[in-house]
Every structure is written in C-alpha cells, then in structure tokens.
Structure 1
Amino acid sequence: MKKTSIFKPWVPNWAIQVVLVICMLHTMALLGLYTSNISYAASYFDIEPEDLQFSMSLTYGTFLATILIESRLFKYFPPRNYLITIYLLSAVLFVTSAYTNDFVVFAFLRILEGILMALPWIPLRILMLSRTKSPNATIIVFSITYGALLAASPFIVNIAVWLLDTHDWKYMTFGSAIFQIMVASLIWLTFTPNRFHRKIPLYKVDWTSFVLLTIAILTGVYVLNYGEKLYWFQSTNIVFCAITSLIFSALFIIRQMTYRRSCFDMRVFSYRNLRLSLLLFIVFYISRATLTICHTTMSKVWQWEPLRVAHVQYLNLLGVFIGMAIAGIMMVQKLPTKLILILGFLTMAIYHWWFTFLFLPDVALSQMWIPYMLQGVGVGVLFVPLVLNTVSAVPAYLAPFAGAIGVAGRFWGTNIGFCLVQNFQVYFNNKHRYIFLEKLLPENPTTTEIVNTIQESFVQKGYDLAPAATLAMKKVNAGVQTQSFLLGNMELFTVWGYGLFLVALYIAFNKHLRFSFNLLKNKYFS
C-alpha cells in the first residue's frame, strides 16, 4: 500500500501540505489558550499565576508521557478516523472548560488536553515529511512544525487581548472548539479511509510504563512549581510529591530495563552526544524563562497597556523567524552544528546583558526592541539544530527515543527555568529590599526629607495631613518594591548572561564534542 493513498487523488500536493500545517495549529490552541493571558485566566479560576503555570506543566507533562505510546495507537487506527476523533474530542474539551470554574476539574481537563495534543503531533510531522519532495525536507518540515509551536504564545496572546476587550473569556474557548471542528472537516474532505502503516494490535502497548511515567512527571512538576511558595521541604505536600516522583521514576526505569516490550529504550543514554544535547536543551529552556520577566516589567513597571505588550511580542516572533532562517541557511550549507549552537547561545547571552541596562522605571520601545528581538533570534537559531542534533546523536533505530529525550529536555528546562527564576527573584528582591529599608530609617534625615516632600505633594492636592502621611509612606514602600524588583532583575539577567556565555565557550573549546550530522545519511530522516 502506498503511503500517498491516505489522501484523495484529486487533492494537489500543495493543498495537502497546507491542510497538514493547519492541523498542526491544533497544538497551538491547546498549549497557548490559557497561558496567553495569565492574569485574566488566573482571576477567572480564582487561582494564583503559579497554579496556571502548573496547569500548563500538566498538559506538557502528559504530552511527554503520551508520545512514548502514540505511535502504537497511530498504527492501529486509519489516519482519517484517528485524527478526526482527536480533533472532535478536543472541541468537546474546550467547550467543557468554558463552563468550568473549579481548578481541580480544570487541571484534569488539562491532563486530557496533553494527551490529545501529543497524539497527532508526530504523525502529522511524518505525513509532512512524506509529502515534501526536497533534499532539505527535514530542515523545512522541522522549521515549520517547531516554528508554529514557538509562534503559539505571541499569536494567541494578541487574539486573547483583542477578544477580551469586547467579549467574555468563554468566546476564546468557543472559537478554539470551532477551529477543531473545521480541522476535522478538512481531514474528512482530503483523507481517504486507507491506512498509513500495517495494523498492530493494541494489546502490546505498554500502558503500565505510561502510568508510571505520568505520575512521576506530574508529582515532579508540583515540587518545582510550588516549592518556593510552600517553603520547599518544610511542606508535607512537597515531601510527599518529591518521594512519589522519585519512587515512580525508579519503577519506570526498572521496567524499561527489564520488560521485553517497553515503550522506551534506555540505551539512548549510552551516547555522549545525546546526553549533552539533553543538557543543552535544559539550559536553553532555562534561559528562555527570563522572557516572562520582560513582559512583567512592561506591564507592572513601565505601565504599558495589555494590547501594547501583546503587539510588542510580534517583534520577538519576527526574531524567531529570522533566527530559524539563519539556522536553516547554515544547515543547508552544511556548516558545523557547533558554530550554530555557539551563535545561538552567544545571542541569548547578549540579550540578557543588554536587557540588564533596561530595567529602569521608564523605557521607550525604541530603547528595548533590539535586545527583545535578539531573544527571538537566539531561540530561532538554537531550536531546530538542537532537535536535529538530539535525534541524529544515536543510530536510526533509536532516533524516536532520542526525539522523546528532546521533548523531555524542553519540558524539564521549562519547569526548572520557572523554578529558578521564581527563587532567584525572591532572593534578589528581598536582598535589595532589606538594603533599602536599612537606609530608610526614620532617624535618617534623607528619609525624613523624602517622606515630607511626598506628603507635601499630597497636601497640595487637597489631602489632610494624616491621610497625606499614610499615602506618602505607601508611595515610598511602592518605590522600594519597584526598585528592588528592577535591581533584582538586573542581577538575575547578569548571572544568566554569564552562564550562557560559559556554555558557548564550553561548546567552542571542548575538543571531545562532536556536533555534526548529515541528515541525508540518517535513515530515520530519509
């Protein structure tokens, strides 16, 4: 049976590729809907921002566990029935979440969304590769798929901000559900009922490993997301989840090493380049976590409107596309991957150092757009080369497991980055706040002069002395908090910048590293 037979003969190849790209936008909707406007979504569910971050981790964590078994499911069902079912179920979940105000129910729905997000991701990429007739098909397809993934947040945040100005939050979920139905209709219109693979019975699926890994992941991300808030191991919840994660992780590893038909081959870790690629992925995603600080500064310190913050993110998205184009050209020219990675990490380091000087009480767009775009360029340069280097670091028969390692690196890097940023911000902010408070003692003449000046300004506005004094102290405290926030971010970005610079130096001068791959010689890609 020919693989092309799953598409109807009257559909031209370019239309098939367009349909497949549209199908991949399903992941954008599932991943970006509730993280596009964290403040609004958190208020809607009456939760804290870290709760929403945790819900995103639930989705991504379930995605990671599901990709280990999705190939078996895809090989059992015909692609048309398989994909249509996924998109219709996604539509049902979106509509259900529109009428959900309870966070526990919402978290459960996010877990289900992670499963539905993972099931079509790799099959759609395989179908795109089968329809792209080019020597550089792998670079093109991977750039498109991961470009769409990186574009999810800025694209949806602009839709969200525009929609929330005129409509209720529920319309976001309704629109996403309608999109899923439209995608299902396109699949029904262009696909045939034929199979893409030989049918493999489902009784060989390693469901036990899936459950073990899911529990290990979800309890692990609970520790990373809530550790700082619950004072780490002073909390019984943190201790319980940490122990549970370690136990189930050990059980998962033991099963993979002893079970004949396990869902993951542990031999991938015997390859040095793969271990290094995993480490670089984690470092890369930790460095990406600081972008949230930029957006927080725009809204809380610079007092930019939500619509302006949303529009500015297009600059970062443009940088991502520029970076991907640069990386694509370098890969097509068969330049060493080592050079691409050094360029990417140095670009990320420059962004952090440059932005260190922009943590001021007021900054114009003309001052910050270049380093802000540089962050996108660095992300674009690094993403696809890191993915391809991870997959090609092992023999072809282990490549699917190496792909899962790449997803694991992105997942844990995101959560470790959130955890580190959260803890470093608290540490640096408190450090500078205590320094300010030591200098702002009542007996300090400078403090008295500042408070009196502010109090006098309120009196001139018509306030009585007592309310004016209270407002003056509140303004001083707010100023201390703002300055502590800015100075803390300056230190954090400086540390991150030096860390990324050291990573680039390590890649450049370590003679034992072999960052080079030939996609055309790798049987997995061909």
Structure 2
Amino acid sequence: MEYCNIAAMVSTLVVATRLTLAKRHSTKVFLVTGFLLMMAYNIWMSLIITPDLSFTDLLFPIIFQGAASGFLFVPIIIFTVSALPVQTGTTGLVVAAYTRFTATLNSISGFYNLQLYFNQHFKEGLLASLTPENFMVADQLKNDQAVFLAKGFSASQAAFMAGNTLQQNIARQTQLLAFRGVFMSIAALLFVVAMLVLMLPAINKTFLHWNRRMMIPSGSL
C-alpha cells in the first residue's frame, strides 16, 4: 500500500517540478490541484470507512493522497524558500525542513484533538439514545443474551456479556463516526483553502484597482 502512495507522490512531484522549471504553469495551478485532490481523498475515506477495509478499498484514496502530496510539495517549498531573505543562503532549506516538521506536528495534534472532540460528541449522542423506549436496543440485548445462553452461560453471565457486547459496539461505532467527522472537516477546510488560493489574486487586484480609483481625484479621470 505504501509503495502505491510513494509512486503516486514521486510521479506528480516529477511532473510538477518539470512543468515549473519549464515555466508552463504557475504554482497556483499545482496548489489548487493538490488541495482538491487531498479534499477528494478525505471525502472518499469518509464514505468508505468501515472496520474491515480491504486493499482495493484503500488503493485509489491512497493514490489520491500521494498525488496531492506531490503536487503540493513543489509550490510550498518554492514559496517558503523564496520568502526568506537573500542572506540566509542555504539555510533556507533548513528553514523549509523545519517548517515542514512543525506543520507535521501541528497536523498530528490537530487530528488527535478533532478525533477526541468527535468521539465524545458521537458517544454522547449514542448514549442518549439508549433509553427504555428504544426497542431496537432492547431487542439487540435479548438476542445477544440468547446467543450466550445457547453457548451454556448462566443468565447473569449472559446478561453481563450482552452488556459488554453493546458497549463494544458503541465504542466501535463512535470511533468510525469520529473518523468520518474528522475526514469531512478536513475536506471542508481544504476546499476553503483551495478557493482562497484560486480567488485571492483576483480579489487583491480588484481591491488595488478600487483603492487606486479612490485615491485619484475625480477630475483627472
């Protein structure tokens, strides 16, 4: 699986580098493409997330994620290095590597905090539905108790194990919903970032043009 991800990343990295050196495309194209591919990866993962994902289920999302990383690497490195003062010299690469390392740590901590938030959110929602009026839960407990009784357990043991089974199912479902919430949140954030990259230059030009017109006296227009 990781080889498919690396192959996709290297392929798009080579393509982005060659096109950038040939000056056929601006870095904005690669940024928007990379963010949209990363958004597609997160949406795809949120739709297929299950406890038993196979290789074929993960193949295309992993390729999308690798391709997005390759497209984003070149413009981000160019932007980071070009923003540094000239006197920094080769230390610009060190700063870029440090920035990437810091961003990786922040993304890991952000993912963990989002996971905790959604896990607690969905857990409270599921626990709130466990009421005496919920006949589906009662039927599930009865079915689980019947299964354990048929295996030779006593009534008290069967009731205890049925409750544990219900708790495990809630924990598993909560974790899956938390992952889905994290993936959808990241996808929404990536879409906003892609639109900002796409529209900010035009908005900036419009603002500068409007500001210039406000500063020029009306008689000289």
Matches of 1:467 and 1:322, distance apart in 2 = 57
Are 1:476 and 2:172 counterparts? no
1:352-381 alpha-carbon deviations (Å, 9 max, x no partner):
111110112333322221012211111112
> d(CA) in 2 for partners of 1:318 and 1:419?
27
1:327 counterpart letter in structure 2: A
How much has 1:441 moved relative to structure 2? Answer: 2.4
Looking at structure 2, the residues matched to 510 and 401 of structure 1 have their Cα atoms a distance apart, in angstroms, of 30
Letter in 1 for 2:186: W
Aligned residues of 1:338 and 1:508 also touching (Cα < 8 A): yes
Q: Which residue of 2 aligns with 1:338?
A: 28
Q: Which residue of 2 aligns with 1:61?
A: none
Give the unaligned 5+ runs of structure 2: 206-221
Match of 2:183 among 493, 500, 504: 493
- Amino acid of the structure 1 residue aligned with 2:125: I
TM-superposed CA distance for 1:490, in Å, is 1.0
**Counterpart in 2 of 1:418?**
108
Structure 2 residue aligned with 1:52: none
| 1:463 paired residue number | 153
Q: Does 1:317 align with 2:11?
A: no
TM-score by length of 2: 0.83
Q: Which amino acid aligns with 2:15?
A: I
1:327 aligns with 2:16: yes
Residue type of the alignment partner of 1:412: T
Give the aligned residue type for 1:481: A
Aligned-partner residue type, residue 370 of structure 1: F
Once the two structures are TM-superposed, the CA of residue 480 in structure 1 deviates from its matched residue by: 0.6
Aligned-residue offset at 1:394: 4.1
C-alpha offsets along residues 39-71 of structure 1, whole Å, 9 cap, x if unaligned? Answer: xxxxxxxxxxxxxxxxxxxxxxxxxxxxxxxxx
Corresponding position: 1:508 with 2:198? yes
Q: Percent identity?
A: 28
- Cα distance per residue 1:281-322 (max 9 Å; x no partner): xxxxxxxxxxxxxxxxxxxxxxxxxxxxxxx22222222222
Cα-to-partner distance string for 1:187-222 (whole Å, 9 max, x where unaligned): xxxxxxxxxxxxxxxxxxxxxxxxxxxxxxxxxxxx
* Counterpart residue identity of residue 341, structure 1: L
Q: Distance in 2 between matches of 1:353 and 1:446?
A: 30
Is 1:447 matched with 2:146? no
* Equivalences for residues 116-265 of structure 1 within 5 A: none
Deviation at 1:443, TM superposition (A): 5.0
Whether the 8 Å CA contact 1:440–1:447 is kept in 2: the answer is yes
Once the two structures are superposed, residues 438-481 of structure 1 have per-residue CA deviations (whole angstroms, 9 ceiling, x without a partner) of 11224532221111111212222332222222221111111111
Structure 2 counterpart of 1:155:
none
User: Contact (CA 8 Å) 1:433, 1:480: kept in 2 or not?
Assistant: yes
Matches for 1:35-114 after TM superposition, within 5 Å:
none
The alignment partner of 2:158 has SS state of helix
- Asked if 1:430 is matched to 2:124, the reply is no
Flag the 1:458–1:330 CA change in 2: closer, same or farther, 3 A: farther
| Distance of aligned partners of 1:446 and 1:411 in 2 relative to their CA distance in 1, 3 Å threshold | same
Paired residue for 1:363?
53
- Whole-angstrom CA distance in 2 between matches of 1:351 and 1:415: 21
- What 5-or-longer segments of structure 1 have no aligned partner? 1-311, 514-526
Flag the 1:463–1:322 CA change in 2: closer, same or farther, 3 A: farther
Aligned-partner Cα distance in 2 for 1:330–1:478? 51
One of 72, 81, 99 as aligned partner of 1:409: 99
Q: What CA distance in whole angstroms lies between the structure 1 residues aligned with 2:132 and 2:185? A: 34
> Structure 1: which amino acid aligns with 2:187?
G
How many residue pairs align between the two structures?
Answer: 202
In structure 1, C-alpha distance between the alignment counterparts of 2:40 and 2:15, rounded to whole Å: 17
2:87 matched to which residue of 1?
Answer: 397
Within 2, Cα distance between the matches of 1:409 and 1:394?
Answer: 12
| Equivalent-residue separation in structure 2 for 1:494 and 1:382 (angstroms) | 20
C-alpha distance in structure 2 between counterparts of 1:342 and 1:458, whole Å: 55
Amino acid at match of 1:410: R
Residue 48 of structure 2 aligns to a residue whose secondary structure is coil
Give the alignment's Cα RMSD to 1 decimal: 2.0
Q: Which structure carries more helix by proportion?
A: 2
**What residue in structure 2 maps to residue 349 of structure 1?**
39
Structure 1 consecutive aligned stretches of length 4 or more whose deviation exceeds 4 Å: none
What's the offset of the Cα at 1:494? 0.8
Superposition pairs for residues 293-304 of structure 1, below 5 Å? Answer: none
Q: Deviations over 1:389-442 (max 9, x none)?
A: 321234533343543432232122122112211111111111111111111224
1:100-154 CA distance string (max 9 Å, x none) = xxxxxxxxxxxxxxxxxxxxxxxxxxxxxxxxxxxxxxxxxxxxxxxxxxxxxxx
Provide the C-alpha distance between the structure 2 equivalents of 1:461 and 1:483, rounded to a whole number of angstroms: 26
Report if the CA contact (8 A) 1:320-1:378 is conserved: yes
